[in-house]
Structure 1
Amino acid sequence: MLSHESHETHETHALTYDDVKAATGRVGGRVRPVTLAQAGQRLWFALEFLQHSGSFKARGALNFTAARTQSCAVPDAGIAIASGGNAGLACAWAAREHGVPATVFVPEAAPAVKVAALRALGADVRQVGSEYAEAAQACAAYVAESGALASHAYDHPLIAAGAGTLLEEIHAARPSVTSVVVAVGGGGLFAGVATAAAEHGVRVVAVEPEHCRALNAGLAAGRPVDVPVRSVAADSLGARRASAHAVRLAARPHVRSVLVPDEAIVAARRALWRDHRVAVEHGAATALAALRCGAYAPDPDEEVCVVLCGANTDPADLAV
């Protein structure tokens, strides 16, 4: 397990709404605007799995790459990132959009569908270790040796601010939405969404698997802490530690942190396919699981939007 000393942070300043607005300017017209689908009375799905590279991660990756390219900060070795899969896909896509190389470190157990997609995007894929933290250590060593620009799956203001553009689009499309439900891994999506949501008076429900609870544990401790990682959704939500940005935001009055069991995640994923013919990965189904299992019960006057954040999955196990 990573120690406090060995955990590399990319935080440079407190994330602000101005960062999200700046990201909106960089990614506007280059990412796919989110589609909202009505899923029930006062319930909406944000179909962010339709995004480039198959997840919300494209927003942060494009914001990071665009900002660094504009400042001429991308070396010949290109960009390197460690990822459970989705952040790597987004990084590879954004790098290709800007004509720079991408080297992506993923765990050996990364889903084959994600590894194949990474290679199709032109990334140099390196599979290392059994979980994200080990891939991150290998990536850090590669950056030190090659001089590549280090990106991050979630712990960087530019990454989080890019993710926050999703909330801006949800609010613009449906101003009546009062609560947004998001799955949380390391906290990049949550941090960006919560920053923008505070500006618009929107509640954020942060949902994690019971055994991948980096944000929830950090909130309880009052600081980022390392946690064990063991969940069916670990390939996308399996960060050992949440970002400092995310932990600070989780303590804000407009945020609620909840946990769901793996059984509820699996059931929510199957229900999305059965009832809506939507095939998403377990990490995306985690957000909906909170509503289905009662971990979060909206008040009658709430209008809720559940973010379905990614669909880089093999749907073969959904056949009925």
Structure 2
Amino acid sequence: MDWTTEIKAAAGRIAGHIQITPVMQTLGFDLGYPIEMKLEHMQHTGSFKARGAFNTLLSQDVPAAGLVAASGGNHGAAVGYAAHQLGHKARIYVPEMAGPAKIALIRNTGADLQVVSGAYANALEQAQAYEQDTGAGQVHAYDAPGTVAGQGTCFAEWQDQGLAADTVIIAVGGGGLIAGAMAWFQGAKKIIAVEPETSCALHAALAAGAPVDVEVSGVAANALGARRIGSICFDLAQQQRQAGHLTSLTVTDAAITAAQTALWRKRRLLVEPAGATALAALISGAYQPAAGERVAVLLCGGNIAPDPLA
């Protein structure tokens, strides 16, 4: 697939529907070097997911039965929002572990919300069954070309904003966001994939040589809790790791919480645990840049629970 062409087309398609999110430079984390951060938690519905949702809906015919999606929370909110903006009906399946803040966010989009027992994988099973029964259009959270190309627009946009870093650090759940980054940069930047120790589908897949099921738990599980990495992400990651362009690592829940706290106390940036996971790699020392290496961090989500202003 010509990902550059696909991502450029997606950027044109979703222009006017998504928010161009700001970038900031900071020395505020006592690391001894500056960090460039893209504040994608300021996107519509509080995460980058709106990019993939709008690209998918705008690049295909929506069936009369409407749309269906499974989500840990953020994707469902994005699909519900995009569907509402474009005049489509949507049914969203989420697991109970999504939590009250994200469940309320999805409900407020006007989507038909179905809360199911278990984890994201259980919600996906029910969404797929609904798709088969009704003919609704499935909007996959991460493992579909339209989703990946939409998420890739985040990095095309960042590059247009003057991204000068050598290394971009990105949190990983199911892999749609980092797949978009790999598809766009194609080795032009070193990419660091960061996952919680207790939800590490990409790290486990790279170790095993193929996607495998993992157990999912921890503070970021309602956003980074995919049981199995997407095949698009895995294929790109395997290629780029072999070429020396990708490093995969994990961080503890304590490191994630410390990064989340630092973002609020030092920069007044309020993000969910998943949104702090990439920064956790730097603050914890799990990733230590070389002398002179310029680093950038993506803050991917801001739907904190409980919502402090609900």
Query: TM-score range, shorter-chain basis?
Result: over 0.9
- Tell me how far 1:17 sits from its aligned partner: 2.0
Q: Distance in 2 between matches of 1:123 and 1:182?
A: 29
Unaligned runs of 5+ in 1: 1-13
**Structure 1 SS opposite 2:8:** helix
Runs of 4+ in 1 over 3 A off after TM superposition: none
Alignment of 1:146-225 (within 5 A): 146-198=134-186, 201-225=188-212
Alignment of 1:73-152 (within 5 A): 73-152=61-140
Residue 256 in structure 1 maps to residue 247 in structure 2: yes
- Identify if the C-alpha distance between structure 1 residues 175 and 280 changes in structure 2 by more than 3 Å, giving closer, same or farther: closer
CA contact (8 A) 2:195 2:250 kept: yes
**Structure 1 SS opposite 2:186:** helix
CA contact (8 A) 1:249 1:255 kept: no
- Identify if the C-alpha distance between structure 1 residues 22 and 316 changes in structure 2 by more than 3 Å, giving closer, same or farther: closer
Unaligned runs of 5+ in 2: 28-32
Write out per-residue CA displacement over residues 95-117 of structure 1, whole angstroms, 9 at most, x where no aligned residue. Answer: 11210001000002222111111
- Tell me how far 1:42 sits from its aligned partner: 3.1
* Amino acid across the alignment from 1:44: E
Q: Distance in 2 between matches of 1:170 and 1:180?
A: 11
Alignment of 1:207-246 (within 5 A): 207-246=194-233
**Structure 1 SS opposite 2:279:** helix
* Count of matched residue positions in the alignment of Structure 1 and Structure 2: 300
* Amino acid across the alignment from 1:29: G
TM-score normalised by structure 1 residue count: 0.90
- Tell me how far 1:316 sits from its aligned partner: 6.4
Write out per-residue CA displacement over residues 276-309 of structure 1, whole angstroms, 9 at most, x where no aligned residue. Answer: 1111011111111000111111122222111001
Q: Distance in 1 between matches of 2:137 and 2:163?
A: 38
**Structure 2 SS opposite 1:109:** helix
Write out per-residue CA displacement over residues 233-255 of structure 1, whole angstroms, 9 at most, x where no aligned residue. Answer: 00000000111111122221211
**Structure 1 SS opposite 2:26:** strand
- Identify if the C-alpha distance between structure 1 residues 316 and 102 changes in structure 2 by more than 3 Å, giving closer, same or farther: closer
Deviates more, 1:160-169 or 1:24-33: 24-33
Question: 2:283 matched to which residue of 1?
Answer: 292
The percent identity for this pair of structures is 45
Question: 2:21 matched to which residue of 1?
Answer: 34
**Structure 1 SS opposite 2:269:** coil
CA contact (8 A) 1:111 1:313 kept: no
**Structure 2 SS opposite 1:217:** helix
Q: Distance in 2 between matches of 1:222 and 1:197?
A: 23
Deviates more, 1:17-26 or 1:274-283: 17-26
CA contact (8 A) 2:101 2:306 kept: no
